[in-house]
Structure 1
């Protein structure tokens, strides 16, 4: 099964998001799709390791530019 991570950003800083690309890559998190609508941005990521992805989420939250909510998903 493929694991993915869906996140919502209420406050989105494109420069910070782009600057975090290497950290995402090191955590095995790769951007699949980015949407915006209704004042929020949504991103769908492919993940290789859920624990590393959780660590990345914790670090981005501590730095103040993490997502407002997130959901781990698996293909059905």
Structure 2
């Protein structure tokens, strides 16, 4: 299972520093970052994760939404 997220940070550089500092937190939430994309035309960022534990990932998403601002997410599986 994968998780696709889309963030719209106010300032990309600041967001990226915080994102990098939270690597261990995401790993503890059962997430492995597979790919990170930055939108070409705005400050949006899309991330693709491998989900090792959906419950932990859902708990992480709740915390992220409370502390990191707007965040869209979708759990996916290969069809």
Mark the runs of 5 or more structure 2 residues left unpaired by the alignment. Answer: none
Deviation at 1:53, TM superposition (A): 0.3
Structure 1 gap ranges (5+): none
CA deviation profile, 1:33-68 (whole Å, cap 9, x unmatched): 000113211000001111110001111222x22652
Q: 1:44 to 1:8 in 2, by over 3 A?
A: same
CA RMSD of aligned residues (A): 1.4
Query: What is the number of residues matched between the two proteins?
Result: 73
Q: How does 1:24-39 map to 2 (within 5 A)?
A: 24-37=26-39, 38-39=41-42
TM-score by length of 2: 0.84
